[in-house]
Amino acid sequence: MMKEALKVGAATLTAFVLYSLLGRIEPSLLLVLNTFTLVVIFFSMLKGELFGVLLGAFCGLLQDSFSLGVFGVAGLSKTLLGFVAGYISRKMNVFPFFRNFIFIFILATGELAVWAFFYALIFSRRVITGNALIFFQPLTTAVLGSLIFALARRLKTPQT
């Protein structure tokens, strides 16, 4: 249990470091790529839904604490994301490259939709799209996520 908690902590830290670096390089990149979403999907698919739920909650709340607004909106959407990513990836083989890409794209779109729904519901305002940059977020997450999985598979396969 302690080991799992440490892993959740390390994964959350990874997402946070990536977010800090991206924001420093170019703030608009944060709209195109949500590093917390990417990390939650990646680790949830590898470790299952329980790990995903915990990691999603942590990463979401961390994202909330570094943004102005209601604390818990990203927490909620990422908790659901972690669960769905972990649960489905255990039931279906979503690891082949193309299937992986589609699966991550659907997950990222769903997470963004849930977040946008709660944001609009609470604030009664339209979600800020940043000149439609935010709509590229699921695509970027899917491309990067499937590439990371492909790279991880290649590194894991013993070289002959």
Partner 1 sequence: MPFSLRERKSVVVLAVLVFLNLLLISIQVPLGSEHTLFNKIIFSVFSPVQRAVVSVGAAIAGTWNGFFGLRGARVENQKLKKDIFFLGLENMLLLERLKFLQGDKLIQDNQASIRKTVLSARVIGVDASNYYKSIVINRGGADGVKANMAVCDKQGNLVGRVIEPVTLKEAKVQLITDEDSGVSVISGTDKVVGLLTGDSRGGCRISYVVTTMPGGREGEDLFTTGYDKLFPPGIRVGKITLIKTDGSFFKTILVQPFFSYGDLGQVAVLKERFEDLF
Nearer to partner 1, 7 or 150 (CB): 7
CA angle, residues 107, 108, 109, in degrees to nearest 5: 90
From the list 82, 81, 73, 75, the residue with the least C-alpha distance to 120 is 73
140 binds partner 1 (CB under 8 A): no
Closer of 56 and 138 to partner 1 (Cβ):
56
Answer yes or no: are the C-beta atoms of 131 and 125 closer than 8 Å.
no
User: C-beta of 28: minimal distance to partner 1 in Å?
Assistant: 7
Of the candidate residues 1, 2, 68, 155, the single one contacting partner 1 (CB under 8 A): 68
In this structure, how many other beta carbons lie within 10 angstroms of the beta carbon of residue 105?
A: 18
46, 148 contact by CB (below 8 A):
no
Q: State in angstroms the smallest separation of the CB of 135 from partner 1.
A: 15
* 122 lines the binding site for partner 1 (CB under 8 A): yes
Q: Which of 102, 107, 135 is nearest to 37 (CA)?
A: 107
CB nearer partner 1, residue 11 or residue 146 = 11
The verdict on 110 binding partner 1 (CB under 8 A) reads no
Q: Work out which of 14, 32, 87, 135 binds partner 1, going by CB under 8 A.
A: 87
